[in-house]
Structure 1
Amino acid sequence: MATPPAPPGGRTRADALRWTAEGTVILFDALAALPDDRLDGPARLPGWTGRHLLAHVAANADALANLVHWARTGEERPMYASPEQRDADIEAGAARPAAELRAWAGRSARVLDERLAELDERQWTAPVRTAQGRTVTAEEIPWMRAREVMVHAVDLGAGVEFGALPAGFLAALITDIAGRRAAAPGPALTLEAAGGGGAWAVGGSGEPVVVRGTLAGLAAYLSGRGRDGVTGEGGTPPPDLPRWL
């Protein structure tokens, strides 16, 4: 079977499926080392505890499984009934006993993997709609999940940092966020990764500000998760960016 061409951003379906699997291991290994009482404390996302974060990751797998069902059967099944219902489900999930919450997260991840494995070549090209209202093909679903498990493994605050994530994933993540930030208010940027790791232009207002750092540092910065290890022109601090994802 011919390998599908790489979509924009230099990532293939195989890449995204592999990163989903790797990110799931990274996330659940970190979670396994985290005592239940640590889930009660704050995550790295403002206003969320570890319980909220874990409930979100579990609900996200269920939501993406809805899109897989849509692609496989043609029956429209949105990710969430509404933004309000999504938020309510996360709050309700965060109140579950820790063992039940952990089991939900593991179960939903396994079910999503199983459902993705059932898609055939035609179904991978079926259009579905994201929670943000974008129409994409089912090819996008593994990438959406890879972002969730990788980035939120860092947000869990259990010792995983962006430097522990695969370089290919980090480059694809920067490409993805750079495109999305170009459509939102913010400063124009030119990102340069150390060691020839890549360069990205981020559209925005004003003359582009050059920001340099490692792939991990640039991914953390562009996603609004700190600016350690990245600098602007002449070693000055780079512009502040809001959180993404």
Structure 2
Amino acid sequence: MRRTFEDARRWARLGTELFLGAAQGGFDEPSALPGWTRAHLVAHVAANADALGNLVHWAATGEPTPMYASPEERAQGIERGRTLPAAELTAWLRDSAAELEKAMAALGEEQWRTRVVTAQGRTVPATEVPWMRAREVCVHAVDLAGPATFADLPADFLTALCDDVVTKRSAAPGPAVSLRAPSAAWELPGDGEPALVTAELPDLAAYLTGRDTGTSAPVLGAWL
């Protein structure tokens, strides 16, 4: 992985500011995610901050605290959140982000090494939490279908994102793809002869995360 803990902390702060700046009203309008309005997406990101806060609490206290009680509880929270009045939804988004940042800033070096369990069931050190948040806020800032695009995200973040997605996709069935950007390359193992996909780094990141890039590249399955 071409990223450090300090990188992830920096990207999480940058992505949070980018998302907060993009989430300015228009909550009833569609997002770039099929079937979701901007309100769905804002509620999802706010709930994600609360959920990651549970992992930070786990690291701080040693008390096992899952991100969500269940997948159903996670979905219900988004549904409740997206019906909130705009002012309340905005307040939840901002307050949850601030509380997560405050909680992370309070962790000591040993606490950051605590093993926690993600919503996908992976056991990881708490040092992965900033990366999980960075990934969430940066990608979803683009999904708000506002002015932000993948080209607005830092190149080092996009490289780390591609590393991360290729690692995850390599463990699941799918088409074989050779990905080439001017500054980096990845091999996605899979079925058949590898299809060559050549594009700028932001477009490769969009493609790997399942966003529509308007290309004829092989269709990939779900990322997360």
TM-score normalised by the chain length of structure 1: 0.89
Structure 1 residues 204-215: aligned runs within 5 Å: 204-215=190-201
Cα deviation for residue 242 of structure 1 reads: 3.1
Aligned to 1:184: 172
Structure 1 residues 1-245: aligned runs within 5 Å: 9-32=1-24, 36=25, 38-194=26-182, 197-228=183-214, 237-245=216-224
The whole-number CA distance in structure 2 between the counterparts of 1:206 and 1:180 is 19
Count of equivalent residues: 224
The whole-number CA distance in structure 1 between the counterparts of 2:158 and 2:204 is 9
Q: How many percent identity over aligned positions?
A: 55
Cα deviation for residue 244 of structure 1 reads: 2.8
Contact 1:227 1:238 in 2 (8 A): no
Cα deviation for residue 227 of structure 1 reads: 2.5
Cα deviation for residue 209 of structure 1 reads: 1.5
Gaps of 5+ in 1: 1-8, 231-236
The whole-number CA distance in structure 1 between the counterparts of 2:4 and 2:148 is 25
Aligned to 1:3: none
The whole-number CA distance in structure 2 between the counterparts of 1:83 and 1:218 is 30
Cα deviation for residue 169 of structure 1 reads: 0.3
The whole-number CA distance in structure 2 between the counterparts of 1:79 and 1:166 is 28
CA RMSD of the aligned region, Å? 1.1
Residue by residue over 1:130-159, the C-alpha shift from the partner in whole angstroms, topping out at 9 and shown as x without a partner, is 000000000100000000100000000111
Cα deviation for residue 57 of structure 1 reads: 0.2
- Structure with bigger RCO (C-alpha 8 Å, 6+ apart): 2
Gaps of 5+ in 2: none
Contact 2:174 2:221 in 1 (8 A): no
The whole-number CA distance in structure 2 between the counterparts of 1:53 and 1:172 is 23
